[in-house]
Structure 1
């Protein structure tokens, strides 16, 4: 103990020493003076000295003990406060634990998903009560089931393979499988497997009942299958109807063309034959529109971009309607900006749209003229092409301008009765332009005229390849020997009437079997082959003919002449070994051009 501490403690014991000394003086005085009556024996100084000597150590000791007791008291008080605080904290933690345990149990008891823990040995060590709702087994009962219970051997093996591939703390993996409930009913479960990352090797599995979802998936799959079947049936119906409509139109249009060109008819009969031909072509246009729109709805639109010249396209389309326009006293003018560069787009589709605009302009214009206007804005290696067809016709009312681009829609019933038509042309045009990422519309003043326009953007291209050299026309000295395989007698007569005046010798076969036999017995420069025939169809007959010619090292050109004109049908013809395709109804000019192009040709088998 240091000197300062001792000195301080002695100073604090002075009052006690003074009290003891005072008590000793009082006792000496009372004893010697008051009781004994001997004042001489009262010695205050001696008493003070003796009392001080005795009292000082005693007071010091008493004060030290009191200080120790105070320190013990303070330490005990601190200890009691610490213990009280620890008890309170323990009670608070216990309350929180009990609340958490209650909430976890409440959560476990009310989970719709099942939670299970598996030991590294593959034993169930926990199952949430929701298992009873899912499987019919109670939690304790479920824990006693073997691992492979409720699932098939194949599913159990698949799940085990998933578990073996897990890594501790890694991403969970899910699997769907069928499960047999306690009552024997079958449900679908989706389970997610994960290994805990604490090194315990415990497997956590969460499972949920997805029976309703699976039922919906199966219903959707069934509905999709039915929709695909309906689409296939629609395509089959479309193909059959196309064939059935085009087959009689072949005879009607073909013989009308033959009669119109005949010099043996008088003026009235020739005019009537022309009316038949015009009406037949109108009917063919309707069939083509319905076929085209149905094809767009069923299979979408496939574009075939290639370099093309927009100016040449506009001129070609204008030339196609020029004869009809002249008949109505209308002029058709093509205007173009300074320079129209070639572009890489589907030129045939754009021609289809522009020709539809022009056909409508001729149909709905009684006097005045029609102007085709092209403009192009070049932006780097891209260009924006705008095409307009301006007429002086009946115009379109403001409330009908958007509706005319809908299918089966015209401006109003009066227009439909007066001018006819299916109302599909503009709907097809809009689908084509929008599929190209472009815009299409109409500006019109009713009674004054309309401007139908479209805008498409595409890359610039080099000049398109020059057209192939024109084919030399047939003449009577050509000596072409042709085999016509056709089951329809009227069509056989029509083809002979079209070709024989040009020196083509036509031999006929009325089905595929007869066609193969004719090729086996003789030699021909060319074969015109129908596709849909009894006994043996044209595709099978073509394959057999190609097999016969295989040993010769050369093959006779075979042209499909059929009402099967859908893209996939044309592809089937080429895949069977045919060289070209002519769609019915037959155009006399296209037939003569095809015969002239292929007659006398042969190619490697």
Structure 2
């Protein structure tokens, strides 16, 4: 505690000096004066706790001074100790005590008695000061509690009666304070939750404080969500109860919003799955027929038309992929599929597929490859091709004259890994400065009339940016409006040193003579294409229209593998596969099954695997994709080709 102030009032300076010498100690500040008038001022200003006042002083004696001190609220609590040399008669003692003094010190002062009395009064003054501070604190707490928005109450441990309560009970539960006092706290608890409430209180035996959510009853018998904070001390429960109705309503809204979002996502995914099937199935037919036509004898004009057919179908497939990929990325379900590939082949294919479009606009389309670049790398070829095709296609679309170039440079080579920079530069219309910040956003285009003049969905660059970032790469661009643009991205790949080159041309695909396959496919065009590919590779083929027919055929014959469409009338591919894996008792239950699906969502691919399928062939596919899977099956089955 801080030092207390002690005032000495005596008209003789020598008496003050003597008294100061006797009572001086570390826990007090001594303030002295020979003037009663100044003493009044000091008492007012200095927060005096104890005053030693001489009785006999000129003008104003000690009795009068003390009466004046005791008459004012600011100084009335000062402890007074009279110092006097006059008679010890009773009338003087009574007069002094009646003015408000506590005791007397008689001159000449006895040092021991003086020090003892002053010490006891100092201790009393300290205790009084501490009580005063505590009372002030209690008053402040009382104001805080009375004005708290929370219900503050004290509950007896044994009886559970509410002993103290603030007015907030009326705001939160609608009860008047006097209606609830001396009632059990359980009267605010729903009957069917009494046991739960008791258990919450019992847990306080092991905890200093406990907080729990609970529904209490208001004065209308309605349930109100609250948060109860409870402490236990000296056989009393101290409650602080907050109204949590708004928080619970907000939480419920969040839950409903989440459920609505999940429902909307499920509807969206169902729609995307159906759209994927409806778009990819005919696309598979178009791309497959184009591949078959290339194997026939064609005139030069016909070859050109087949090439245009391939470019158009691949362009349409690119748009479908963009829409589906954007949805998968946003849903967090996008998965990269890395393979060992020839990067030169990917780069050249990207350029050649776009060359027809460039030729139509009389543009030069160039490819520059850093000679240090390894031939084979590990990457997701579909996604790398998708990025390149989007950037090159965009460049051609927005360039009326001049050139479009793809430049590929190796930036670094550390261990097995290389960092490669891809740049697509054009002499096109460029991008206005105010549009640059949004150019990578989905559905954004460089100008308001861009879609009308040049076409497109506005998805391409948004997809490109997300695909690059998913591979921990970086992408940016620089552009000068009216002069052209340069889009670039950097990716890191694992370089492949020992690589066995697969067949890349249809003519090079090996024969599978001696193998027998079952095809379950209801779409006539896809059925025709698959059968044609298989027979070109000298595979014996049986065909069915649905899962039931496939099961019946498998009971009669043995097959090296089954190509099973996912969606078929009657019994689909998943159900038929499950039946084969669980109902067949011989080696036929282990027949390799390739799912032919237009599905691109990872959930659907997982569903195929969970059904028991061994491989997933996503439509549309090229002959090399199917040939590669059959080659893997032939190796596992030890088929002699």
With normalisation by structure 2, the TM-score equals: 0.70
Q: Which residue of 1 aligns with 2:166?
A: 128
Structure with more of its chain in helix, by fraction: 1
Distance 1:393 1:582, change over 3 A: farther
Q: How far apart, CA to CA, are the structure 1 residues paired with 2:94 and 2:375? A: 104
Q: 2:320 aligns with which of 287, 304, 321?
A: 287
Q: How far apart, CA to CA, are the structure 2 residues paired with 1:377 and 1:578? A: 41
For the aligned residue pairs, the C-alpha RMSD in angstroms reads 4.2
**3-state DSSP of counterpart to 1:165:** helix
Asked if 1:69 corresponds to 2:87, the answer is: yes
With normalisation by structure 1, the TM-score equals: 0.74
**3-state DSSP of counterpart to 2:235:** coil
The equivalences for 1:305-320 within 5 A come to: 313=343, 315-320=344-349
Asked if 1:470 corresponds to 2:502, the answer is: yes
Q: How far apart, CA to CA, are the structure 1 residues paired with 2:138 and 2:126? A: 18
Structure with more of its chain in strand, by fraction: 2
Asked if 1:83 corresponds to 2:102, the answer is: yes
Q: Which residue of 2 aligns with 1:156?
A: 194
Q: Which residue of 2 aligns with 1:276?
A: 309
Q: Would you say the 8 A contact 1:172–1:194 is kept in 2?
A: yes
**3-state DSSP of counterpart to 2:590:** coil
Q: How far apart, CA to CA, are the structure 2 residues paired with 1:281 and 1:317? A: 14
Note the C-alpha offset of 1:483: 0.6
Distance 1:371 1:238, change over 3 A: closer
Asked if 1:142 corresponds to 2:171, the answer is: no
Q: Which residue of 1 aligns with 2:526?
A: 491
Q: 1:333 aligns with which of 350, 361, 367?
A: 367
Distance 1:438 1:494, change over 3 A: closer
Q: Would you say the 8 A contact 2:159–2:184 is kept in 1?
A: no
Distance 1:116 1:421, change over 3 A: same
Q: How far apart, CA to CA, are the structure 1 residues paired with 2:470 and 2:333? A: 9
Q: Would you say the 8 A contact 1:439–1:455 is kept in 2?
A: yes
Asked if 1:115 corresponds to 2:157, the answer is: no
Distance 1:82 1:224, change over 3 A: same
Note the C-alpha offset of 1:300: 6.0
Q: 2:488 aligns with which of 445, 453, 456?
A: 453
- 1:343-362 CA-partner distances (Å, limit 9, x unpaired): 99978755643453344445
Note the C-alpha offset of 1:204: 0.6
Distance 1:317 1:404, change over 3 A: farther
Asked if 1:228 corresponds to 2:262, the answer is: yes
Q: Would you say the 8 A contact 2:391–2:424 is kept in 1?
A: no
Q: How far apart, CA to CA, are the structure 2 residues paired with 1:363 and 1:208? A: 63
The equivalences for 1:162-311 within 5 A come to: 162-166=200-204, 171-196=208-233, 200-263=234-297, 266-299=299-332, 301=334
Distance 1:564 1:143, change over 3 A: same
Q: How far apart, CA to CA, are the structure 1 residues paired with 2:599 and 2:483? A: 43
Asked if 1:512 corresponds to 2:544, the answer is: no
User: What is the number of equivalent residue pairs in this alignment?
Assistant: 525
Q: How far apart, CA to CA, are the structure 2 residues paired with 1:325 and 1:231? A: 35
Q: How far apart, CA to CA, are the structure 2 residues paired with 1:215 and 1:529? A: 50
**3-state DSSP of counterpart to 1:166:** helix
Note the C-alpha offset of 1:208: 2.0
The equivalences for 1:561-600 within 5 A come to: 561-599=596-634
**3-state DSSP of counterpart to 2:87:** helix
Distance 1:414 1:257, change over 3 A: farther
Distance 1:351 1:496, change over 3 A: closer
Q: Which residue of 2 aligns with 1:387?
A: 421
Note the C-alpha offset of 1:100: 6.9
- 1:569-603 CA-partner distances (Å, limit 9, x unpaired): 11221222222111112323323333344347439
**3-state DSSP of counterpart to 1:262:** coil
Query: Which consecutive unaligned segments of at least 5 residues does structure 2 have?
Result: 1-83, 105-120
Distance 1:339 1:389, change over 3 A: closer
Distance 1:557 1:172, change over 3 A: same
Distance 1:363 1:110, change over 3 A: closer
Note the C-alpha offset of 1:410: 3.2
The equivalences for 1:507-546 within 5 A come to: 507-546=542-581
Q: Which residue of 2 aligns with 1:324?
A: 353
